Structure 1
Amino acid sequence: MRTTAEQRDFARRLECEEDGLYFSRYFFKQRMGSKMIVAPHHRIIDETLQRVIDGEISRLVINVPPGYTKTELATINLMGRGLALNHRARFMHLSYSHNLALLNSSTTRNMVKSQAYQFLWPMSLRDDADSKTMWWTEHGGGVYASSAAGQVTGFRAGHMESGWQGALIIDDPVKPDDAHSETVRNGVNNRFNETIKSRLAIETTPIIVIMQRIHYHDLSGYLLRGGSGERWHHLCLPVTINNAVSYETLFPEHTHAIPIAHGLPDGWLWPFKHNESHRISLFSHRRTAEAQYMQRPRKFNEEGALWNEQMIAASHAMTISQELTRTAVAMVTIMNVTRIPIRQRKISNARK
């Protein structure tokens, strides 16, 4: 018969294995020393990730504003809990920054090595594979981390077995500073099909792309419009919810998307983080707000810009034969001007 302490430990282990959000809250407190502030969207993300673990979803895109705990839930804790559920689970984690990918990998590794984790799921890490870039458990599970543009060959996510075996997790593949670099964006999009996509043990190994939208042609948009030729479940969580507008109305071009209903009420997604008092500052930069916060970046040609994207691209391709000494760009803003009679104008000038 179990003692009260043993019953408590058994209940905690069972709760962590069955409830991903409980797992995240428990180990957030263990790591940070403070409670995780939970919002309804956290539960929606957790339920969606559980569908991945259960084998219901194999291709998933999650779009959510920056700072809304996406990496905590879908990267760090998913890998930690994934290894608790299957000690042989193998993960490949990619991000725009090699150092950021290593930080996430290291955070999960330290969690697995912690006393709290080992007490619930005893497992040791192999001495010959215990670095931030790549670490393995004694059972053959573990994590390989790199940048989206870095070395990914030589490792595969998952195993050639049925059931939950790990996943390929892509967290913010392009940094916001590179959002308008066609070279960087196309490089990541092309690399997904040419290299990254082949890093699965079997085709049913899940791929999770979780990111803030940064451009119409970013990886999310590329995949949801059919760039990989696959259907993708799509959980879209803008900073403000408006259920009056359907997914099909917002994203008519998402031909390969399977929308996931979030069931959240109208209003701010996480009032503790952003609410009505932040509206002016949040939406002061329209392009950033529409992309990173509303998850609906527009094409440049739809923004009413003086120079559209095609014009800028065409200018880059131009060959100028003459030697340039100076380039001048003049912009004139047309405003309504009140006409002043000539006589009055002369009098005004005379008084100056």
Structure 2
Amino acid sequence: MADRQAAYDALLRASFPAFLHRCFLAVSPGDVFEDNWHLEAIGWRLKRIQSGEINRLIVTVPPRSLKSIAISVAWVAWRLGHDPKLRFVCVSYSADLALKHARDCRAIMSMPFYRRAFPHTVLSRQRSAEHDFTTTARGGRFSTSVGGTMTGRGGRRHHHRRPDQARGRRIRCGPQYGQWLVRLHPLLAS
């Protein structure tokens, strides 16, 4: 039994698709995971970001296709599992959605399966807000939304929920139609 558990933990560390499947079961209990080619394609592109081959990615798939769970939740947790010093800034179009993704990511990182697969990644008790949490290695995940604050924040990876705003162009966003995402442009230039 211990050998099977060790093999499963190793699979979660090595295979993002396997890790994504396990995360889905954790954050969507009772729902059916429907594996599809687009999840493999998203995973392949994320691997290219991880390797440095590309530094920008826009994912356009229909709603309810797991892009949020895959990228803003599972991939961030998986990358922090491999390198707990990484710092992520995740931006969503709504504060509620940004908070939900942060909660889901944090919950996954607190679960026994995650702690077994990534024993060197430990959530810090020093900074443990739902939207802003760190690891003991000083990496972590900060969440905000359009209209939210990012002052003084930096990260090596930035995730956005509105692909038409990925370059920080002056595009009206949200129901307010008075907010602009221009201030993200310097972060995306890095």
TM-score range, shorter chain: 0.7 to 0.9
User: Structure 1: which amino acid aligns with 2:184?
Assistant: I
Verify: 1:169 aligned to 2:159, yes or no: yes
Match of 2:110 in 1: 113
Match of 2:33 in 1: 36
User: Structure 2: which amino acid aligns with 1:63?
Assistant: T
User: Structure 2: which amino acid aligns with 1:153?
Assistant: T
Contact 2:9/2:116 (8 A) holds in 1: no
Verify: 1:52 aligned to 2:49, yes or no: yes
- C-alpha distance after superposition, 1:14-71 (max 9, x if no partner): 3223321111002222343455211111111111111111111101111111111110
Verify: 1:73 aligned to 2:63, yes or no: no
Contact 1:134/1:144 (8 A) holds in 2: yes
Match of 2:135 in 1: 137
SS at match of 1:50: helix
Structure with a larger share of its residues in helix = 2
Verify: 1:10 aligned to 2:6, yes or no: yes
Identical aligned residues as a percent: 22
- Aligned mates of 2:126, 2:71 — CA distance in 1: 27
- Aligned mates of 1:17, 1:128 — CA distance in 2: 26
TM-fit CA distance, 1:120: 1.7
- Aligned mates of 1:149, 1:180 — CA distance in 2: 9
User: Structure 2: which amino acid aligns with 1:169?
Assistant: H
Aligned pair in 2 of structure 1 residues 67, 8: CA closer, same or farther (>3 Å)?
A: same
Match of 1:157 in 2: 155
- Aligned mates of 1:182, 1:131 — CA distance in 2: 27
Report how many aligned residue pairs link the two structures: 181
Could you state the TM-score of these two structures normalised by the residue count of structure 2? 0.84
- Segments of 5+ residues of structure 1 without an aligned counterpart are 159-166, 204-352
- Aligned mates of 2:90, 2:137 — CA distance in 1: 19
- Segments of 5+ residues of structure 2 without an aligned counterpart are 165-171
From 163, 168, 187, the counterpart of 1:199: 187
Contact 2:132/2:140 (8 A) holds in 1: yes
Higher relative contact order structure (alpha carbons within 8 Å, sequence separation ≥ 6): 2
- Aligned mates of 2:64, 2:26 — CA distance in 1: 20
Q: Which runs of 4+ in 1 moved over 4 A?
A: 178-185
- Aligned mates of 2:112, 2:13 — CA distance in 1: 17
CA RMSD of aligned residues (A): 2.5
User: Structure 2: which amino acid aligns with 1:126?
Assistant: S
- Aligned mates of 2:49, 2:174 — CA distance in 1: 32
- C-alpha distance after superposition, 1:130-152 (max 9, x if no partner): 01121001111111101122101
Higher Rg? 1
- C-alpha distance after superposition, 1:177-235 (max 9, x if no partner): x77979457x22xx1xxx223337x92xxxxxxxxxxxxxxxxxxxxxxxxxxxxxxxx
Contact 1:83/1:89 (8 A) holds in 2: yes
Contact 1:84/1:121 (8 A) holds in 2: yes
TM-fit CA distance, 1:105: 0.6
- Aligned mates of 1:126, 1:180 — CA distance in 2: 33
